[in-house]
């Protein structure tokens, strides 16, 4: 059970949609329903929502993020990964 409300997810959706557009062709931004994708939740040890993982060449890149962050923080992580 998530301690975050539906409002948190509603607030993050436009952030990730915007980042997906900004990084089109350089990065893929996906939203996954971990209730339906239990295998992925187990693989990435999802213990809280939202959980954000960064993958590069199919491998985890840096630490996963549990909880909401500011858009600039997600952007910084993407920029660092793409260097």
* pTM for the whole structure: 0.81
Strand 59-60 relative to strand 51-52: parallel, antiparallel, unpaired? unpaired
Which pLDDT does position 1 carry in this prediction? 32
CB burial string 68-83: b at 16+ within 10 A, e below: bbeeeebbebbeeeee
Compute mean pLDDT per 10 residues along the chain, 83 residues long, and list them. 55 91 93 87 88 90 90 95 92
């Amino acid at each position: 059970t998530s301690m975050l409300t539906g409002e948190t997810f509603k607030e993050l959706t436009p952030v990730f949609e915007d980042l997906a557009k900004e990084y089109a062709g350089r990065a893929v931004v996906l939203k996954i329903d971990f209730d339906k994708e239990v295998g992925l939740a187990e693989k990435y040890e999802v213990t809280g929502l939202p959980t954000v993982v960064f993958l590069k060449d199919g491998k985890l890149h840096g630490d996963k993020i549990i909880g909401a962050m500011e858009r600039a923080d997600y952007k910084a992580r993407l920029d660092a990964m793409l260097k």
